[in-house]
Amino acid sequence: MKNNKSKSLMVGMIFPFMSALFKSISQVILIENAVTGFIILIAITIDSYFVGTMTLLSALIGTLTGKLGGVDEKSLNQGVFGCNSVLTGIALSLYLSGPYQWVIALVASAIAGIFTATMMYVKKMTNIPFLTLPFIILTWLMLLASYRLKIFILNPKLEPQSITKSLEKLSLEEKVDWLDGSVDGIGQIFFLDNTLSGVLIFIAVFWAGWKIGYLAIVGNLVALLTAYWLGGENTLIFMGLYGYNGILATLAVSKVFNTDHHQVAILPGIIAACLTVLLMAGMSTLLLPYGLPALTMPFVLSTWILLGARKALPRL
């Protein structure tokens, strides 16, 4: 009897923890669904075993940080606490190199958990969602540390560039691939440039609900078409580098503006997606001299703009 009770107790502890772990992956795209998180993990692992392993370990570390730190069970079980750890672990495992690359990435994922706890406290006072801000700030600081600390070795792809040099490389005559552009945007949320992985992530999103999948498609296409219409560089557009922020902004804003009629709720999401294109272009240019990627900052800013406007202009 005691053995059966012990086994039941162990299963009762392990299952919720594993659920929270996979939800921390799905919460990167604002979805609370363990199956969605598991499918996304498969999609990442297909593209890179190393990044897939780092994703799982970062989710584990972020969830453990919250569990051991005594964060409220609701936030932990929803996966909200671990999503910034997941993104930080993935980003630094890709943007850094050298023998200590994985160590730095995993330590940073634990720090991201602590940073998330701080932002949760700030949110209670301001009622402003922090979204992926801990991941953005921490990743930028870790990458900038490479200019002062030898253990941080920056990936050569992130070499600082002058704005003039970047403009010389700008080409609007690159191959137009609408199929890749329609799929790769959602993959870029997890730093993936793999069509199969993008398809799997779309499947994962639709698993969580057809309305969420519909919003993701709309956000991606709106950002894609807006960037193309405004004359963005085709290479970046069809790699999905303008689409991923549009997807996240559409999901976040439409969720807040949600009504019984999704036709009404979609309009703010479309506006947010369009804004991310302008913000992405501006942020990318601003950060060029530092060799920093814009990450999800356009999504965060566009969401804040729409949510702030909603509070100040209630009739809209």
Q: Tell whether 123 is covered by a domain.
A: yes
Provide the domain limits for residue 309: 161-316
Q: What is the mean pLDDT of residues 28-32?
A: 96
Share of the chain above pLDDT 90, in %: 63
pLDDT at 307 over 60: yes
pLDDT value of residue 190: 96
Across the chain, mean pLDDT equals 87
pTM, two decimals, is 0.90
Looking at the fold, whether 294 and 167 belong to one and the same domain comes out as yes
pLDDT value of residue 15: 79
Choosing from 159, 184, 202, the residue where a domain stops is: 159
Domain count within the chain: 2
Q: What is the CATH number of the domain that holds 214?
A: 1.10.3430.10
- Band (pLDDT 50/70/90 cuts) for residue 74 is confident
**Burial state string for 229-242 with b = 16 or more CB within 10 A and e = fewer than 16:** eeebbbebbbbbbb
pLDDT digits (tens, 9 = 90+) for 186-244: 999 999 988 899 999 999 999 999 999 999 999 999 999 999 999 888 888 888 899 99
Residue of 92, 29, 103, 106 whose CA lies nearest to 60:
106
Looking at the fold, whether 165 and 147 belong to one and the same domain comes out as no
Looking at the fold, whether 247 and 268 belong to one and the same domain comes out as yes
Residue 24 CB partners (closer than 8 Å, separation 6+): 37, 59, 62, 63, 79, 80, 81, 82, 83, 85, 86
